């Protein structure tokens, strides 16, 4: 198969949801459809249960699970689909952001009882930043949920994206009868089953067909006729190009646990979802069809085996063909790297692969050379953009509790930060080290892992900080001046970039007013 054929076969997407909306269940059903797994129950949730969040074993277990389930490949109707799971828990939001840089589109799961939840909103913001095409799956229709019109309005308003239903539910909860496929004009009747993978479809081209009344009764038939008329009147025709630009989200209704409504979505997904596209670097745009390989690292899992300091770096292939054992240019580093241990992720199995194509995600066994955001190429010095650090929300100073273990602590902190567990800022004055996170849980993970993996003991002392702002000025002198005058509040991030540590919103505003030549950014890429 040619490179172009390989590219056109691939659809790489992320699955996002507020915890409990049904992401794991939907993932599993998609794998069942793809024939990648044979039985339900094979996919493990990577969810961190808040009730057990202080249980360290649980966190360790979760780490293991999230490696196994974070990338899953499967074949469906001749397509190679790569599904990337994202942690729903808000404390791992950065991990999710980074994962979303490696996908070409997203499927978002929404619970029809709860509607749009807070985490969904945050995830959507990230999709919008990157104009990622989104398909919405409204789940749990077998339960008494909210009115579908109301749900669609909520998605539009809270997620700030136009929607276009492509299927429509016939009633809900106990009286749920099925969905009408507005795209193919087919009726799919619901029969609760957690196992079967084929649905009963009836083609009803014309809704005035009296067979409809036989299937779902006159009341519901009339209701459906009215609904479809209303929808076709209110919503403009679905345009794939608008979806691809991230302007319109097609919406499907179904019940993941009952395997219902998923095939409609998958069939549409493989038709409309984007194949790997051109990506931006600091030098130029890179087309996936270029013969020379390029790719970037978006995720690292370290110390899976405490006896060996090995780590798995997740590489997204962006162009050309990636080959095992071939030396590649490590753009940030000084020496070429070659990888003999390369795994692909098919369903829940890992297997050694010799080659990979644009859109694919492979795991590289690495001994500590790679960092999140690193680019690998066949020679050219490029750097893929789009993996920024975001200002953390919570800041704590690192206090070493065991002076004998200073080296271990430094090494541990450095490695955990390279893995992207949290962000480290080092103050210019006194070299005080501050860890910034999105949630409390991250501190617990760091503390635990430093002890367990590096034998270092730390305390975290809360700091009263509002945001870390990456600072910039066209005028180098002005920037130096600013850094000098605000020295006590200046730190460097992991890459040595200058950061202003703002104590409050009001104070930041004042500083911004006083220094109009300096720009302040809440992300490291601006």
Residue 181 CB, nearest distance to ligand GDP (Å)? 18
Helices (H), 334-419: 406-418
Q: Which residues of 139-176 are buried (b: 16+ CB within 10 A; e: fewer)?
A: bbbbeebeebeebbebbeeebebebbbbbbbbbbeeeb
Q: Which stretch binds ligand GDP (CB under 6 A): 137-145, 265-273, 293-301, 489-497?
A: 137-145
Give me the count of residues in the chain.
526
Closest CB to ligand GDP among 29 and 489? 29
Taking CB under 6 A as the rule, does residue 148 contact ligand GDP?
no
Q: Distance (Å, rounded) from C-alpha 65 to C-alpha 30?
A: 19
Which member of 143, 158, 432, 521 binds ligand GDP (CB under 6 A)?
A: 143
Contacts of 434 (CB under 8 A, 6+ apart): 395, 396, 397, 398, 424, 425, 426, 427, 463, 465, 491, 501
**Residue closest to 395 by CA, chosen among 450, 494, 466, 306:** 466
Q: Distance (Å, rounded) from C-alpha 163 to C-alpha 60?
A: 39
Residue 374 CB, nearest distance to ligand GDP (Å)? 30
Which member of 66, 70, 139, 294 binds ligand GDP (CB under 6 A)?
A: 139
Residue 140 is labelled as binding a ligand: yes
Q: Distance (Å, rounded) from C-alpha 56 to C-alpha 445?
A: 8
Residue 460 CB, nearest distance to ligand GDP (Å)? 28
Residue 139 CB, nearest distance to ligand GDP (Å)? 5
What does the block give as tokens for 163? 């929607």
Which member of 14, 22, 73, 412 binds ligand GDP (CB under 6 A)?
A: 22
Taking CB under 6 A as the rule, does residue 294 contact ligand GDP?
no
Q: Which stretch binds ligand GDP (CB under 6 A): 253-261, 397-405, 445-453, 464-472?
A: 253-261
Q: Which stretch binds ligand GDP (CB under 6 A): 13-21, 231-239, 339-347, 372-380?
A: 13-21
What does the block give as tokens for 498? 């200058």
Name 13's bridge partners: 83, 105
Q: Distance (Å, rounded) from C-alpha 365 to C-alpha 312?
A: 5
Strands (E), 200-261: 200-203, 248-253
Residue 267 is labelled as binding a ligand: no
Which member of 216, 256, 382, 469 binds ligand GDP (CB under 6 A)?
A: 256
**Residue closest to 22 by CA, chosen among 3, 1, 47, 39:** 47
Contacts of 203 (CB under 8 A, 6+ apart): 184, 185, 186, 187
Residue 139 is labelled as binding a ligand: yes
Closest CB to ligand GDP among 12 and 139? 139
Q: Which stretch binds ligand GDP (CB under 6 A): 14-22, 235-243, 438-446, 468-476?
A: 14-22
Residue 176 CB, nearest distance to ligand GDP (Å)? 10
Which member of 9, 44, 47, 201 binds ligand GDP (CB under 6 A)?
A: 47
Q: Residue positions in the annotated binding site?
A: 85-89, 139-142
Q: Residue positions in the annotated binding site for GTP?
A: 85-89, 139-142
Residues of this chain that bind ligand GDP (CB under 6 A): 17, 19-25, 45, 47, 88, 139-140, 142-143, 255-258
């Amino acid at each position: 198969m040619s490179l172009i054929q390989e590219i056109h076969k691939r659809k790489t997407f992320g699955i996002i949801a507020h915890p409990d909306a049904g992401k794991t269940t939907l993932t599993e059903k998609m794998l069942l459809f793809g024939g990648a797994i044979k039985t339900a129950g094979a996919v493990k949730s990577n969810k961190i249960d808040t009730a057990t969040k202080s249980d360290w074993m649980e966190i360790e277990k979760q780490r293991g699970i999230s490696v196994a389930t974070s990338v899953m490949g499967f074949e469906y109707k001749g397509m190679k689909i790569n599904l990337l799971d994202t942690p729903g828990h808000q404390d791992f939001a950065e991990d999710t952001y980074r994962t979303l840089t490696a996908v070409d589109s997203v499927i978002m799961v929404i619970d029809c009882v709860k509607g749009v939840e807070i985490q969904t909103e945050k995830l959507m913001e990230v999709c919008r930043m990157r104009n990622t095409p989104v398909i919405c799956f409204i789940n749990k229709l077998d339960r008494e949920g909210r009115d579908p019109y109301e749900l669609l309005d909520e998605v539009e308003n809270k997620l700030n994206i136009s929607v276009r239903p492509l299927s429509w539910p016939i009633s809900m909860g106990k009286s749920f009868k099925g969905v009408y496929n507005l795209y193919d004009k087919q009726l799919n009747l619901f029969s609760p089953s957690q196992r079967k993978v084929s649905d009963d479809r009836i083609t009803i081209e014309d809704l005035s067909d009296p067979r409809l009344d036989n299937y779902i009764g006159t009341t519901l038939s009339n209701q459906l006729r009215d609904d479809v008329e209303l929808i076709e009147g209110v919503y403009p025709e679905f345009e794939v190009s608008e979806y691809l630009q991230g302007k319109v989200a097609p919406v499907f209704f179904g019940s993941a646990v009952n395997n219902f409504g998923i095939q409609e979505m998958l069939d549409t997904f493989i038709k409309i979802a984007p194949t790997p596209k051109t990506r931006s670097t600091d030098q130029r745009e890179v087309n996936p069809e270029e013969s020379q390989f390029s790719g970037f690292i978006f995720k690292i899992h370290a110390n899976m085996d405490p006896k060996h300091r090995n780590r798995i770096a997740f590489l997204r292939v962006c162009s050309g063909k990636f080959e095992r054992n071939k030396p590649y240019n490590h753009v940030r580093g000084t020496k070429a790297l070659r990888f003999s241990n390369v795994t692909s992720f098919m369903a829940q199995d890992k297997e050694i692969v010799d080659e990979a194509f644009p859109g694919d995600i492979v795991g590289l066994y690495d001994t500590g050379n790679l960092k999140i955001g690193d680019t690998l190429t066949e020679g050219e010095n490029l750097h893929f953009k789009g993996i920024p650090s975001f200002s953390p929300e919570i800041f704590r100073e690192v206090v070493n509790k065991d002076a004998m273990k200073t080296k271990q602590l430094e090494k541990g902190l450095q490695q955990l930060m390279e893995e992207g567990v949290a962000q480290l800022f080092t103050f210019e004055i006194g070299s005080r080290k501050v860890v910034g996170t999105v949630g409390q849980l991250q501190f617990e993970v760091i503390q635990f892992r430093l002890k367990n993996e590096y034998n270092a003991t730390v305390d975290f002392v809360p700091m009263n900080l509002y945001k870390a702002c990456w600072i910039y000025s066209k005028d180098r002198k002005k920037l130096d001046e600013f850094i000098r005058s605000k020295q006590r509040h200046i730190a460097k991030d992991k890459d040595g970039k200058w950061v202003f540590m703002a104590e409050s919103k009001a104070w930041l505003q004042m500083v911004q007013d006083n220094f109009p030549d300096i720009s302040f950014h809440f992300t490291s890429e601006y």
